[in-house]
Structure 1
Amino acid sequence: MIDKKEFLTKYNIEESELEASALSWDELTAICEDYIQREEKLRNIGKDFVNDYLYDIEKAGIHSYRYRIKAPGHLLEKIIRKRCEHFERFEKIDRSNYYKYLTDLIGIRVFFLYREDWIYFHKYITSVFENNPDLYVEDRIHDFDENEAHYYIAERPKVYRRTGDSRIYDEDIIDIRSDGIYRSLHYIIKYKGYYVEIQGRTLFEEGWSEIDHDIVYPYFKDDEMLTDFSTLLNRLSGMADEMSSYFRRMRSIKEDTEKAAEKAAENAEGTGEDA
């Protein structure tokens, strides 16, 4: 059994926040114990997903990937936070149904070298999984599909875009959310009885995000100094992404120029022979 005081301290949760969630410690403990029993199954499902759909990175249109299952402490922390932020939506969550509410128990990250390359993965994932708006989940309990053999995209794919990204996304095929400083693709897949969350980012974006989540989010998001430092690092990662795109564009221009020069030389040589 997890120690309540130790848990609250580790995850920077006030006793008042726990009370506001209206979840008893006994219920949270029961959720944790149930989840621990499911961990191995979830880990195997994540491994199966990777092996079935992402192992061939060229086919999937990605640079690389990694996956994890949610840690028990983070699970409880998120449930408390969600109950406080959206009580009505999470009012009925308990030990018997929490996995129907949380879509990121199994989390997969896919990475791109260039920000524009998201479209290749999008086309791939929406071709291997059914993407029918009629199947998108609204009510976490009522809309949960108990058929473990039915694999499909359970929410409309969405992207959080940075300022200046407007030209690389198409709102007809993906839900565009404007954040300004954060870029990430999000897909929720129903797979083998559970939800799998896929996030897509560039390598530079992932570097900033990992540091931000390790130091700032969600436990020190009100710390002004840490937030300012994270914002600065975020800007640097955004500039690195832009430079990467410029590099590739310059290479493409140079290759086109060289090919045109070679073709012109060939034409000139051919004309001389005819003469």
Structure 2
Amino acid sequence: MKDAEPLIKHCLERYDEINHELSIFMTTVRSWFETHPKLTRCSFPTIHSVKSRLKDRLHLEEKVVRKLVDLPDQPHAEDMFRRLTDLSGVRVLLLHQEQFTALHAELLKKTSNDWCLIEPPKAYTWDPESVEFFKKLEIHTELKESHYTSLHYVIRPKIDSDVVCEIQVRTLFEEIWGEVDHTLNYPSPTENIACSEQLRVLAKVVGAGSRLVDSIFRTANPVAPPPAEVIEEQPESSVEHLLQVMPSAITPPAETPMSRPDEEGPPINPEDDPVGR
């Protein structure tokens, strides 16, 4: 039978040992996002705001117990400690989904030259449309029944360091759902069926809102159409000649983007949510 007590004791001791270094690295990561010239110092900044936090000791104990349940055998104490990848957390908030592209590109540059990305980025979502979006960025995506939505990166300052930070990236709409769900549904799921259903409805409202914001920004910054082809003047000016040089088909009006509520998809397990816990 697996015993959580020695694991919890070891993990808490190791956490206390590196707490200072965790705090310094977390502050460095947060500052990198908050001051990045390409992501913050422009007419329409990619990043709206940034938050950070160190893992609460009580939540750390609960995390060890939950992880132990999923393991087939009793792990070594240090191995369990290395499995705790959200000891510090930074959450980056964006206005809309299209902004993930620029942030993802800059973060990959950073982790290829400095910080170590210790596992591939992973997106959690309930929305099939979001799955397609993240697939285009070559980001592994998981659908979750809990409707949690976020993009996760796990980094260390160097590959063999004990210091670790989990970065979450989400839109402001997704943050609303996450905060409400965290308050009512964490660490134990609510037993109120009506509340659970309302959280599911809120997730769909949030998804529709996020797509609408994307549409608004695409409308505000449309792609410039190619220059019109100039028709050389011809001596003929008859109606018959104009019919020969002008296109005869009428171009239909562009369809208005429609937001479509999707069927349920996934979010990440709240247990893996680093920020605010």
So what's the TM-score if we normalise by structure 1? 0.69
Instruction: Choose from 127, 130, 139 the match for 2:112.
Output: 130
User: Cα deviation per residue 1:228-259 (whole Å; 9 max; x = unaligned)?
Assistant: 22212212211211221121122234x959xx
Superposed, which structure 2 residues align to 1:201-212 within 5 Å?
201-212=170-181
Q: Does 1:200 align with 2:175?
A: no
CA contact (8 A) 1:57 1:64 kept: no
Shift of 1:43: 1.5
CA contact (8 A) 2:4 2:64 kept: no
Which residue of structure 2 lines up, in the alignment, with residue 246 of structure 1? 215
Shift of 1:82: 0.8
CA contact (8 A) 2:134 2:140 kept: no
User: What amino acid maps onto 1:44 in structure 2?
Assistant: I
Q: Does 1:23 align with 2:8?
A: no
Superposed, which structure 2 residues align to 1:94-173 within 5 Å?
94=77, 96-130=78-112, 151-161=115-125, 162-170=127-135, 173=138
Which residue of structure 1 lines up, in the alignment, with residue 34 of structure 2? 55
**Distance (whole Å) between structure 2 residues aligned to residue 30 and residue 219 of structure 1:** 24
List runs of 5+ in structure 2 lacking aligned partners: 40-45, 231-277
Instruction: Choose from 152, 161, 167 the match for 1:186.
Output: 152
CA contact (8 A) 1:36 1:72 kept: no
User: SS of the counterpart of 1:59?
Assistant: helix
List runs of 5+ in structure 1 lacking aligned partners: 1-19, 132-149, 268-275
* Segment drifting more, 207-216 vs 174-183: 174-183
Which 4+ runs in 1 deviate beyond 6 A?
A: none
Larger radius of gyration: 2
Superposed, which structure 2 residues align to 1:28-39 within 5 Å?
28-39=8-19
Q: How many residues align?
A: 218
Distance 1:252 1:214, change over 3 A: same
**Distance (whole Å) between structure 2 residues aligned to residue 86 and residue 30 of structure 1:** 17
User: SS of the counterpart of 1:129?
Assistant: helix
User: SS of the counterpart of 1:84?
Assistant: helix
User: Cα deviation per residue 1:4-30 (whole Å; 9 max; x = unaligned)?
Assistant: xxxxxxxxxxxxxxxx75223x65245
CA contact (8 A) 1:159 1:175 kept: yes
CA contact (8 A) 1:110 1:198 kept: yes
Shift of 1:154: 0.7
User: SS of the counterpart of 1:209?
Assistant: helix
Instruction: Choose from 65, 81, 85 the match for 2:70.
Output: 85
**Distance (whole Å) between structure 1 residues aligned to residue 72 and residue 99 of structure 2:** 38
**Distance (whole Å) between structure 2 residues aligned to residue 27 and residue 176 of structure 1:** 31
RCO (CA 8 Å, sep 6+): is it higher in 1 or 2? 2
Which residue of structure 1 lines up, in the alignment, with residue 244 of structure 2? none
Shift of 1:130: 2.2
User: Cα deviation per residue 1:186-223 (whole Å; 9 max; x = unaligned)?
Assistant: 11112252221111100110111011012103312454
Shift of 1:75: 0.3
User: Cα deviation per residue 1:164-199 (whole Å; 9 max; x = unaligned)?
Assistant: 224422356211223373431111112252221111
Shift of 1:58: 4.5
Shift of 1:57: 4.3
Distance 1:227 1:57, change over 3 A: farther
